[in-house]
Amino acid sequence: MGEPLRIGMVGAGTISGAYLDTLERLANVTLTAVTDLDPDRAAAVAARVPGATVARSAAELAARDDVDAVLNLTIPAAHADVALTALAAGKHVYGEKPFATTREEADALLAAAADAGGPRLGCAPDTVLGTGVQTARKAVDDGLIGVPVAATAFMTTAGHERWHPAPEFYYRPGGGPLLDMGPYYLSALVHLLGPVVKVTGAASRPRAEREIGGGPRAGERFGVEVDTHVSGVLRHANGALTTLVMSFDVHAARLPRIEVYGTGGSLSVPDPNGFDGAVELHGSAGRWETLPVSAGYAGAGRGTGLADLAWALAEGRPHRASAEVARHVLDIMLTLLDSAREDKALRVASSCARPEPVAR
């Protein structure tokens, strides 16, 4: 194996800890630099990782000779700007979801990567590369449920302000349950069933304000600028129909995360916001049975998609948590919201290939 891919991290907020936990145990990536709008947070990360140093800005970090790839962990509104800066410096980019907040931003990123003539562009979620979704995908591909007919995907919560100390960005443009959590579910559905060609959506915003539930700002109220309950029906290119609900307005529910239904059985898929979990099949045996793990990166965590990008560079293959999948997922979400506003079914203009499965 060659030298590890040298990573510069932009953004040292809450999610960075999960990435560090993964990066620290992977041999093919190493963190060399970090920057954040809060210098103290950047310094804390640098102090945790031997050899890592603090950069004063995203531009300075991207220009450094000891950075091969930029890990973009900023808030959604800053994703595109940080990625464009890194691509202009000739660096690979792997970012948190969503890929961008508009189609125009997403297309500008793809064009910049193409114009740069070499940098790879990747995007979370990489949870789809773990044993949960990949084992479920293998079951679908192996015909264990027959021909896929339909699926359901549900994400319901009372809202992130209950636990997040600064939750406002979840309720501003680029946020909301669909753009925040939808990428996990829709990326999993693309892996399981392929791209989406048409959507019908409905959305609502029951509350104009939210209240922070804990931490030093507990009790503070802030405005809601996006829809917080979104439902829809998605038609996949293979003909399967998915019923989707994404909500920050459900106090409690007993809904499954994802289920896939075929002509010969049903499949229960674990939480796509995680990397593993039990995959259950209801098939010819006439009862639910847990399938053995048969695919996916074992022991994966946030950052596995970046590691897959590094392996892909070394092996000369496409990386799986790709910009093309992320662009299609963004288009599905924005088209669903457009459908809700226009009160009619809409075609999804983009498409993508299903990424290669992660074989064991």
The pLDDT-based confidence of 342 (bands split at 50, 70, 90) is very high
DSSP code of residue 234: E
- Asked whether the bond before 76 is cis by omega within 30 degrees of 0, the reply is no
The pLDDT-based confidence of 113 (bands split at 50, 70, 90) is very high
Q: pLDDT tens across 218-258, in order?
A: 999 999 999 999 999 999 999 999 999 999 999 999 999 99
Round to whole Å and give the CA distance between 118 and 353. Answer: 20
- For the chain, the distance separating the N- and C-terminal CA atoms, rounded to the nearest angstrom, is 19
Average pLDDT over residues 63-74: 97
Query: Which pLDDT score, from 0 to 100, does residue 1 have?
Result: 53
- Asked whether the bond before 355 is cis by omega within 30 degrees of 0, the reply is no
What domains does the chain contain, in order, with CATH numbers? 5-123 (3.40.50.720), 127-296+327-347 (3.30.360.10)
DSSP code of residue 230: E
The pLDDT-based confidence of 285 (bands split at 50, 70, 90) is confident
Average pLDDT over residues 320-349: 97
Give the tokens for residue 301.
């965590």
Query: Which pLDDT score, from 0 to 100, does residue 156 have?
Result: 97
Average per-residue pLDDT for the chain: 96
Query: Which pLDDT score, from 0 to 100, does residue 80 have?
Result: 93
DSSP code of residue 264: T
DSSP run (H or E) holding 47: helix 39-48
